Amino acid sequence: MAAPTIPKGSLVLVTGATGFVAAHIIKAFLAHGYKVRGTVRDTTKASWLVTDVFRAYAERGDLELAVVPDLAAPHAWDEAVKGVAAIAHVASVVTLDTDPAKVIPQTVLGATSIMDAALKEPPVKEFVYTSSIVASVMQVVGLDAHVSKDSWNDAAVKMAWDPATKSGGVVYMASKVEAEKAVWKFVEEKNPHFGVNSVCPSTIMGEPLHESHLKTGSAWLKQLVDKKLDNLMWTPAREFS
């Protein structure tokens, strides 16, 4: 196993810290001996991170919060990236708004602007973008597709901008397509001094670290237990190798 490029004790930035995935990433980094700065939109609503779930880490200075109210705002990330050795960009627009103009440009700009901010920070060694399987393939029953680095769900982008679609889910898919494409275009054009990777999760499930995680569309197990199957029926069974 290769040695980590980021030594233990380094400061890592995790965006969208209150989210289910981001909170688990924070938990893993802290458990492995790293310090974490998590970005949130509102420190009051995010207080459970430092006063409850990760209180011990916060009290000894291993976890801090930084406010980024609008991920697409100019220079939104400039302060948050200062002094960090790695960035896990998990934050995204998850409003499920049916208007692509209110979701796609903001998601793309959020990804590229944080990379621009990282260019000004020599300590940054690694950048990981949390994409989604829906950036690569449209998940529909009966679809048999091989996913590679060149797979893109361009159908979602076309549908999202079609006024007849009116689907927040499709708009979200399109935003992940366009944002990840923008990440790799950024790498090609600007040749950053840090390593860049993306991860494309499929269905995500696990322990909720806060009650808010039980109220999201990704709370698959709770929906199953509660027999609320509407959100599950459109998701086909999948196997990846």
The pLDDT tens digits of the residues spanning 57-88 come to 999 999 999 999 999 998 999 999 999 999 99
What confidence tier does 241 reach under pLDDT thresholds 50, 70, 90? Answer: very low
Is residue 240 predicted with pLDDT exceeding 50? no
Total domains in the fold of the chain: 1
Is residue 207 predicted with pLDDT exceeding 50? yes
**d(C-alpha 15, C-alpha 93), whole Å:** 12
Q: Does some domain include residue 232?
A: no
CA atoms within 13 A on the CB side of 141: 5
What confidence tier does 210 reach under pLDDT thresholds 50, 70, 90? Answer: confident
Summarised one tens digit per residue, pLDDT across range 107-129 is: 999 999 999 999 999 999 999 99
Q: Does some domain include residue 194?
A: yes
Summarised one tens digit per residue, pLDDT across range 162-180 is: 999 999 989 999 999 999 9
Q: Does some domain include residue 85?
A: yes
Q: Does some domain include residue 239?
A: no
Q: Does some domain include residue 228?
A: no
Q: Does some domain include residue 241?
A: no
Cβ pair 179, 130 in contact under 8 A: no
Q: Does some domain include residue 139?
A: yes
Output 225 or 86, whichever has higher pLDDT: 86
Q: Does some domain include residue 237?
A: no
Cβ pair 45, 73 in contact under 8 A: no
Range of the domain at 18: 11-205
pTM of the model: 0.90
Q: What six digits make up the tokens of 218?
A: 């990704």
The CATH number covering residue 184 comes to 3.40.50.720
**d(C-alpha 209, C-alpha 84), whole Å:** 25
**d(C-alpha 135, C-alpha 170), whole Å:** 11
What is the structure's pLDDT at 139?
Answer: 72
